[in-house]
Amino acid sequence: MTLIKRLIEKYSFMRKIFMAAIALLFAISTATAQDHHYTIAIGAFVDAKPQDFNELKPLGFVYSYQQPKSHVTQVYLGGYDDMATAEKVLRILKNKGFDNAAIQERKLSDGEIVTVIQLATRDTRKNIKWEKFDKTGDLLGIVTGNNLKILTGPFEDMEEAKQKLRGIRKKGFADAFIKKVNSALLISLNEFETGIKKPVINLNVDIAEAQPTSKTKEKDVPSRYDTDISPKGGHSTAKVVKKEIPSISPPSINGRIKRHSAVELQKLLKKQGYYKSTIDGYYGKGTKASYKKARRENEILNKYAGLVDEIPLEPSGEEIDKLQEAINHLWENKKAYDIVEANVLPVAYAYQAVYWFEKEGPSSKVNRAMSKALRKAYEGKKLENQPPIDYHSTYAYEDANQLILHLFYVHAAPGNEYFVPCWVSDKFPEPVAYAEKKIAKFNSKYFKMAPCQQFDLGWDELNILQAMAYALKGSGPVDYTALSMDIATRRELIQSPKPLPKGEIKELTDWESELMSNLDAWVNRHPEHKETIDAFKIAFYQSAVRLEDYFMNKSLSKTQARALALATIHSYIGVFLERFV
């Protein structure tokens, strides 16, 4: 070997050692410099919504932590590598009125190194299309200034991460890669951050991508529904559902009558191993015992049994705008009234009048506000029905009857999109009863009232059925006007059952057939939800059998009883299952 060659090799070896040393020193200095990471705790808020903090978007990424079993959300802003930047942002927050904001230090030495997959990096000042990332799994983030690294994980080991990475790349994330990060930097990206509300049952799941697992099945069954909302800074009050439950015990089932509903129930129970006898359509002792066994052992039936009371009966969250939300919570804090007072829509003036009438009694202020509401609601509008009032006049509201009646007329005006909230009935029960009779004669398609009085038989199988139907609804809005009409229909069906015309009977049996057929087709595309749909059908046909006996006990024929049972079931679940028929 020549001297020159030996010198070259020696130089190359020394160069590698030098570069490695430099890299090590850099790593050590970086770790030391970045051992501290800062975020800003903006404050704790009741039922916080991301849109409440839109003005902070230029300052960094807003994220949250929901306190367990609470409506209180702790809201944070950004992630900063140095105290100077965090202090600068804090001063801006204080100037914006967030007096309780404070810098929090997060030491990397308190965390541990975990394995994740990085999907992308996004500028937090721009809109992020979260739907694209949602299909990859649970989302995590690391925030530094205005940059957000979007991650999924963490994973137990590198092998699990590699398997997950292959699937993620097939979903369009060709640049995704595995990396090690410090857990102290990680934040969870959930509904608050992404705006994606997870449905109880994911009706948009891609079967080619989602493999049924025990975890997936558990996500099908909620532990509760989110039903409570209030304006920012308001007090959290659980929604009270007023239930009119007639003292009607579930009737005994006549086992000597052969019927379609019993056949379908027996098929389902036999398929799941609860029923061992012949499918004969008679709800005898064997069928009764089989249903009891299913009710006792089927986890899905058990879990939904306690959720019916948490179905929201009036619009909430993203289904309503800021004014409707303020009207709904007018008495809970001053900010709600401020929103109403600042609005110039007719309905806003109407609720100003109601607010001051309740606070101070009759006054010229009440008279002006409600009269202005009527004038703005009807003046210059194309009227399908002429209201039985002179909306150009200024009325004197000496009692609540006329005040609430005119409030209803404002809600019935052309183009109205707002609901009468439940508290109106609570505060003014007699004036509301008077106004309801009057407004019914006006027959306005614009009048909407939240269905606060839930007429409910309270039978176990019907409770399960309605809770499951609400879960199957998915993420779409509820038609609360239709829900209110269904409740009124249910009351009439139960209290004054009458034979239905042949045309209505056919419509109801067609509805049942189409619903079951479409549910089957959906399960063929999404087989991981088969157990949920089977449980739903068990509750459906058990409810049908029970209701048929109720109506047969009212001296109605078997054919009529079946139709009336379907009509009653439709009043419980029809509005929630429109996407399936």
- Which contiguous run of DSSP H or E holds residue 441? helix 429-442
pLDDT of residue 436: 84
More confident of the two residues 11 and 111: 111
Condensed to tens digits (0 to 9), the pLDDT of residues 359-370 reads 999 999 999 999
- Of 80-89, 261-270, 280-289, the poorest mean pLDDT is in 80-89
Cα–Cα distance for residue pair 151/141, rounded to 1 Å: 6
Give the pLDDT band of residue 105 (cuts 50, 70, 90): confident
Mean predicted confidence (pLDDT) in 456-462:
91
Q: What domains can be seen in the chain, in order of their start residue?
A: 36-196 (3.30.70.1070), 260-312+454-580 (no CATH), 320-418 (no CATH)
Residue 441 is encoded by which pair of tokens? Answer: 């004669």
Quick check: 18 pLDDT over 60? Answer: no
For residue 297, pLDDT beyond 90: yes
Nearest to 258 by CA among 553, 545, 569: 545
Residue 5, pLDDT > 70, answer no
Side chain identity at residue 50, one-letter code = P
pLDDT at 33 > cutoff 80: no
What is the tens place of the pLDDT at every residue in 270-288? 999 999 999 999 999 999 9
CB 375 within 8 A of CB 344: no
Q: Name the nearest CA neighbour of 204 among 116, 105, 276, 135.
A: 135
| Spatial contact of 46 and 237, defined as CB atoms under 8 Å apart | no
- CB contact at 8 A, 83 and 103: yes
- Taking the CA atoms of residue 429, residue 432, residue 434 and residue 440 in that order, the dihedral angle to the nearest 10 degrees is -150
Those residues whose C-beta lies under 8 Å from the C-beta of residue 456, and which sit 6 or more positions away, are 243, 244, 245, 462
With 70 as the cut, is the pLDDT of residue 201 above it? Answer: no
Q: How confident is the model at residue 7 (pLDDT cuts 50, 70, 90)?
A: very low
Cα–Cα distance measured from residue 290 to residue 221, given in angstroms and rounded to the nearest whole number: 23
Please report the pLDDT score of residue 70 as a whole number. 46
More confident residue, 388 or 142: 142
Helix, strand counts (H, E) of the chain: 21, 11
Catalogue the long-range contacts made by 258-262 (C-beta closer than 8 Å, 24 or more residues apart).
Answer: 258/282, 259/283, 259/545, 259/548, 259/558, 259/562, 260/562, 261/541, 261/544, 261/545, 261/548, 261/562, 261/565, 262/287, 262/541, 262/545
Is 187 within 8 Å of 63 (Cβ atoms)?
A: yes
pLDDT for the residue 225: 37
Reference 337, options 454, 436, 462, 231; nearest CA is: 231
- Do 145 and 60 meet the contact criterion of CB atoms below 8 Å apart? yes
What confidence score (pLDDT) does residue 576 get?
Answer: 92
- Work out the number of other CB atoms within 10 angstroms of the CB of residue 354: 26
Residue whose tokens read 């939240």? 450
Task: Report which of residues 226 and 385 the model is more confident about.
Answer: 385
498 DSSP assignment: -
Question: What pLDDT is stored for residue 559 in this prediction?
Answer: 95
Tell me the pLDDT tens digit for each residue of 558-571. 999 999 999 999 99
Lowest mean pLDDT among 266-275, 474-483, 524-533, 547-556: 474-483
Mean pLDDT of 324-330: 88
Q: Which of 160, 151, 161 is nearest to 181 (CA)?
A: 151
> In angstroms, what is the C-alpha Rg of the chain?
31
pLDDT at 477: 72
Q: What is the DSSP letter of 317?
A: G
User: For residues 324 and 435, what is the distance between their CA atoms, to the nearest angstrom?
Assistant: 21
Q: Which of 312, 336, 338 is nearest to 231 (CA)?
A: 336
Under the banding of pLDDT at 50, 70 and 90, the label for residue 34 is: low
Query: Mean pLDDT score of the chain, rounded to an integer?
Result: 81
Distance (Å, whole) CA 450 – CA 306: 23
Q: Which amino acid is at 303?
A: K
Comparing 321 with 561, the larger pLDDT belongs to 561
pLDDT for the residue 285 = 95
- Given this model, what pLDDT does residue 570 score? 96
Whole-number percent of the chain with pLDDT over 90 = 40
Place of tokens 């991460």: 161
Q: Which of 565, 581, 560, 576 is nearest to 250 (CA)?
A: 565
Residue 104: closest CA among 40, 192, 11: 40
Q: Which long-range contacts (CB under 8 A, 24 or more apart) does 286-292 make?
A: 287/255, 287/262, 288/253, 288/255, 290/266, 291/265, 291/538, 291/542
Q: Where are the alpha helices (DSSP H) in 79-194?
A: 83-95, 130-134, 158-170, 191-194
Would you say residue 231 has pLDDT above 60? no
What's the pLDDT score for residue 335? 87
**CB-count exposure of residue 12 (10 Å: 0-12, 13-18, 19+):** exposed
Provide φ and ψ at 55, rounded to 5°: -65, -15
Which one is predicted more confidently, 293 or 17?
Answer: 293
By CB atoms closer than 10 A (0-12, 13-18, 19+), residue 494 is: buried
